[in-house]
Amino acid sequence: MKILVIDVYKNKPYRISKDTSGGYGTGNDFGNSIFTNFLKKTFKKIHDFPPMFAAYSYSVLKQKGYDTTYAKILPNNFLTYDLFIVISSIVCCETELALIKKLKENKKNIFAIGPFATNNPKPYYEAGATVISGEPEFYFLKENNFLDDLKEKIVFFKHNLELDDLPFPKWEDIITNPKKVSMLFGKYSALPILATRGCPYSCFKYCVYPLQQGRKVRQRSPTKIVDEIEYYKKKMKIEMFIFRDPVFSINRKHTLSFADELIKRNIKVKFIIETHLRILDSELIKILKKVGLKGCKVGVESANEEVLSNANRYTIKKDEQIEKIKELEKNKIQISAMFIIAFPSDTKETIYNTIRYAKKLNSTYAQFSVWTPYPGTPIFEEYKNEISAKYFEEFNQYNLVYKHKNLSKNDTRNLLQSSYEQYYLRFNWVKKFILSFINV
């Protein structure tokens, strides 16, 4: 059987990722000014990797001996394929549905996979696909006669498999230029990697990661993680790995075991993580730096405690944030601080406060996005009658998609654009950026 894993994207002048935002995807549309257009163009060139669930699904099928191809564009010879596996997302939903309809017109067998189709299956099965609900890589690993399931609209399945049961993603087939995976933290050849899945934190009301991965944290063995690092250092000359865990280091013991494994094998590598500041203590920071931590992405979200509280988002106090970021930077670890504007109780003033606070933190990078009530999350049920977006593809985390009580769509767009201009067009940031790459 000849299988095509097809990962289509709409043509936009900004980077679209289907891996971010818990597999729903994001489109980094920072604004329309000269500066934000420059940022969009630059970011699209230097930051690109496919969704992890798609890479794992492809690799499982290859491991089981199927003639499988991964593509972002439907090939001219598509009629020669027996089965199509369409990678779903919210950020390219209508584009994916158009593809499914075209394939169905040609009487092709189609699966739709991924967190968005799992939580919003109706558009996909109405277009002509069978939706695999849940983590598709485990479905393909468990099932052998999956063609029988194409009679169903939605396939539900159970398994007792672990993350360690999955093969390494076959990145050599999928990523043609590892230099382009992530150049934010230096011009290194890089690959995405996974240590854990699952996130138990309170922001699950509006965060989509628990929809994809559950709230229970599951872990790969440290030995397996380092095996993969060692394998791709040799096979593809990879210098840096981007951990795609929702919260790296959520299990301190597991994180220390990973560090010990790197030390024991004397593997020199750089890596990037995303985590919460509250679970990084001084000892852990020093250990992670020793074994290769290059950069850390942390969610600050807002400078306003009341705004965060109203959105069920809790973090450490601002004084602690400042001190923890200073400590990370003292250890020569670059920081990307992530902020959200247009929370339901935000006003122009609270957003300006957040921009001022971001400038005070003055991290190596700052990312500003727009609060979004995603379909499938608990918060969506509260806002479904307030949704102003007409298409799923508008839910790219940089658009206001609901009727805000204090901000218009235009207000939000201007504030988003202003946040990037105010943050990056400063002497203090330029100086910080240059210094962050010296003697690291």
pTM of the model: 0.95
CA-closest candidate to residue 68, choices 144, 158, 3: 3
Crossing angle of helices 318-330 and 348-361, rounded to 10°: 30
CATH number for the domain including 127?
Answer: 3.40.50
CA-closest candidate to residue 410, choices 92, 91, 32: 32
End-to-end CA distance of the chain: 50
pLDDT score for 298:
95
> What is the rounded average pLDDT of the residues 418-425?
98
Dihedral, CA of residue 10, residue 212, residue 177 and residue 6, to nearest 10: -50
Which domain-ending residue is among 175, 202, 231?
Answer: 175
Q: Do residues 60 and 191 share a domain?
A: no
CA-closest candidate to residue 8, choices 51, 71, 57, 53: 71
pLDDT score for 218:
92
Q: Do residues 231 and 158 share a domain?
A: no
> 365-370 and 334-341: which strand pairing?
parallel
Q: Do residues 200 and 162 share a domain?
A: no
pLDDT score for 217:
86
pLDDT score for 199:
77
Dihedral, CA of residue 99, residue 104, residue 107 and residue 110, to nearest 10: 70
Reported as a single tens digit per residue, the pLDDT across 363-402 is 999 999 999 999 998 899 999 999 999 999 999 999 999 9
> What is the rounded average pLDDT of the residues 229-242?
98
Q: Ranked by mean pLDDT, which of 88-102, 270-284, 422-436 comes out on top?
A: 88-102
Contact 318, 382 (CB under 8 A): no
Q: Do residues 139 and 228 share a domain?
A: no
Cα R_g (the chain), whole angstroms: 21
How far CA 339 is from CA of 115, 208, 297, in Å, comes to 24, 17, 11
pLDDT score for 204:
59
> 277: which 2 tokens?
């500041």
Range name among 165-169, 254-258, 336-340, 378-382 with the lowest pLDDT average: 378-382
Q: In DSSP terms, which residues pair with 112 in a beta bridge?
A: 86, 131
Contact 33, 421 (CB under 8 A): yes
Q: Do residues 71 and 198 share a domain?
A: no
Percent of residues in the chain assigned helix, strand, coil, to nearest 5: 45, 15, 40
Q: Do residues 345 and 381 share a domain?
A: yes
Q: Do residues 166 and 304 share a domain?
A: no
> 2-6 and 16-17: which strand pairing?
unpaired
CATH number for the domain including 314?
Answer: 3.80.30.20
> 146: which 2 tokens?
């999956």
How far CA 253 is from CA of 27, 58, 241, 257, in Å, comes to 35, 31, 21, 6
If phi > 0 it is left, if psi is from -120 to 50 it is alpha, else beta; for residue 192 that is: beta
Which domain-ending residue is among 160, 175, 190?
Answer: 175
If phi > 0 it is left, if psi is from -120 to 50 it is alpha, else beta; for residue 332 that is: left
Q: Do residues 241 and 336 share a domain?
A: yes
Range of the domain at 286: 177-436
Indicate the number of domains in the chain. Answer: 2
Reported as a single tens digit per residue, the pLDDT across 184-223 is 898 999 999 999 998 776 565 667 776 677 778 899 999 9
Q: Do residues 30 and 50 share a domain?
A: yes
Q: Do residues 68 and 217 share a domain?
A: no
Angle, alpha carbons 48-52-58 (nearest 5°):
110
- Predicted confidence (pLDDT) at residue 314 exceeds the cutoff of 70: no
pLDDT score for 202:
55
Q: Do residues 7 and 35 share a domain?
A: yes
pLDDT score for 205:
67
Q: Do residues 217 and 337 share a domain?
A: yes
Chain-wide mean pLDDT for the chain? 94
Which domain-ending residue is among 127, 158, 175?
Answer: 175
